[in-house]
Amino acid sequence: MAITNNTYLINSVEEIDSPALLVFPEIVQQNIRNAVKITQMTDCNALRPHVKTVKSAEPIEMCMAQGIYKFKCSTIAEAEMLGNVGAKDVLLSYQLSRPKALRFKELSKKFPSTIFSSLVDNHQSAQILSEVFENRSIPIYIDINIGMDRTGIKPAHALALFKHANRLSSIEIVGFHCYDGHISSTDPIARKASAEEVFSQLNDLRAKAERHIDKSLSLVLGGSPTFTFYANKTNVDCSPGTIFLWDSGYGNTYPELPFKPAAVVLSRIISIVDERKLCLDLGYKAVASDPPLPRITFPNIKDYEVVGQYEEHMIVEVPYTSKYKIGDPWLAVPIHICPTVNLYEELIPIIDGAQQKPWKVIARDRKITI
């Protein structure tokens, strides 16, 4: 038995248990190519993709094959995964507590060929890194809060932190980092205007800081909705993450961006409730529950409404359940792919309809070896 539409072909679907997260490597590859094309730089220096979405080695290796050597991550496990595949430059975009800083130091020892950097947004965290990395050097970016109000120091106070951190031993300041997740307008013109304001503030801050240091400083900016606006700025790394796998959330919100969903959840009808409602094995242990319902879209189903979800079950209302039968496979595109990937131990690659060797989602673990 095969499932097919214009995008996804799966042969022998009856051999795959559900729920399962299927990935289409050819679409992943094309998404990466499109990101590279957007930067318009043959050496890919503008791209520092965030690996928080994929958490597996194979997409990273695809990037490296296209000349991308800088990456961004959120956890020690993700950083270790990047070290294992030979990434040259890794930014852990998360402020380090002392226990995490100690792990990060061990990571830098284990992979001496990889440059590992991190973030600070306050004096205390900078002091911790200075003490933990005594007799070594740790590159850091000053984390800036332009409006996300999650982490980062306000621009008005950033130069003072820069000067303080620059005096600490073992600290090597290499630039400024800003995540602009608060910029979410569906209008690309409005989104670009907001991104230009972010860049203007960060670029001014960089210019002021460079007067106090004998080198150029980098900026790391942008998620998937905004990185296109920073792609050709001087000495700026763009750090999109969802681009690898994409999802229906970003796809519906930003239809002008040239990316396609590369991962779908395979589910099945496990019960027919009545003439209008049926039940799938697609609970919130199988797909991210942070968005409100419906949490998924069904590309092969024309008329439906998700009316309920539980740990292991999803209730869907359709015009007539009589056209469906127990065991029918349904493909679901998550609205939010990043935490969906984190629910699975492996991704099942499908190439030309055939199932391939699974991709281990190795960095979903809090710890690999360090």
Q: Both 61 and 154 in a single domain?
A: yes
CATH number of the domain to which 312 belongs? 2.40.37.20
Neighbours of 292 (CB within 10 A): 7
Task: Provide the 8-state DSSP code for 337.
Answer: H
Give how many domains the chain has, as a whole number.
2
Q: How far apart are CA 363 and CA 242, in angstroms?
A: 16
Q: Both 237 and 166 in a single domain?
A: yes
Which of 231, 251, 249 lies closest to 240 in space, CA to CA?
231
pLDDT tens-digit map of 261-309: 999 999 999 999 999 999 999 999 999 999 999 999 999 999 999 999 9
Q: Both 173 and 308 in a single domain?
A: no
Whether cis (ω within 30° of 0) applies to the bond prior to 19 is yes
The string over 316-326, giving b where at least 16 C-beta atoms fall within 10 Å of a residue's C-beta and e elsewhere, is: bbbeebeeeee
**pLDDT score of 42:** 47
Neighbours of 13 (CB within 10 A): 20
Q: Both 19 and 29 in a single domain?
A: no
For 266, 328, 354, the CA distances from 269, given in Å and listed in that order, are 11, 5, 22
pLDDT tens-digit map of 41-91: 545 678 999 999 999 999 999 999 999 999 999 999 999 999 999 999 999
Domain presence at residue 285: yes
Containing 108, the helix (H) or strand (E) segment is helix 98-110
Q: Which residues contact 283 (CB under 8 A, 6 or more apart)?
A: 309, 310, 311, 312, 313, 314
Is residue 120 a contact partner of residue 153, using CB atoms and an 8 Å limit?
A: no
Can you tell me the mean pLDDT for 308-335? 98
Q: How far apart are CA 290 and CA 287, in angstroms?
A: 9
pLDDT tens-digit map of 200-225: 999 999 999 999 998 999 999 999 99
Q: Both 102 and 14 in a single domain?
A: no
Q: Both 201 and 127 in a single domain?
A: yes
Q: What are phi and psi of 296, to 5 degrees?
A: -145, 165
Share of the chain above pLDDT 70, in %: 97
Least confident range from 4-18, 136-150, 300-314, 328-342: namely 4-18
CATH number of the domain to which 121 belongs? 3.20.20.10
pLDDT tens-digit map of 4-51: 676 899 999 999 999 999 999 999 999 999 999 998 754 567 899 999
**Domain region containing 75:** 25-244
Is residue 175 a contact partner of residue 144, using CB atoms and an 8 Å limit?
A: no
Containing 227, the helix (H) or strand (E) segment is helix 227-230
Under the banding of pLDDT at 50, 70 and 90, the label for residue 95 is: very high
**pLDDT score of 43:** 54
Q: Both 238 and 305 in a single domain?
A: no
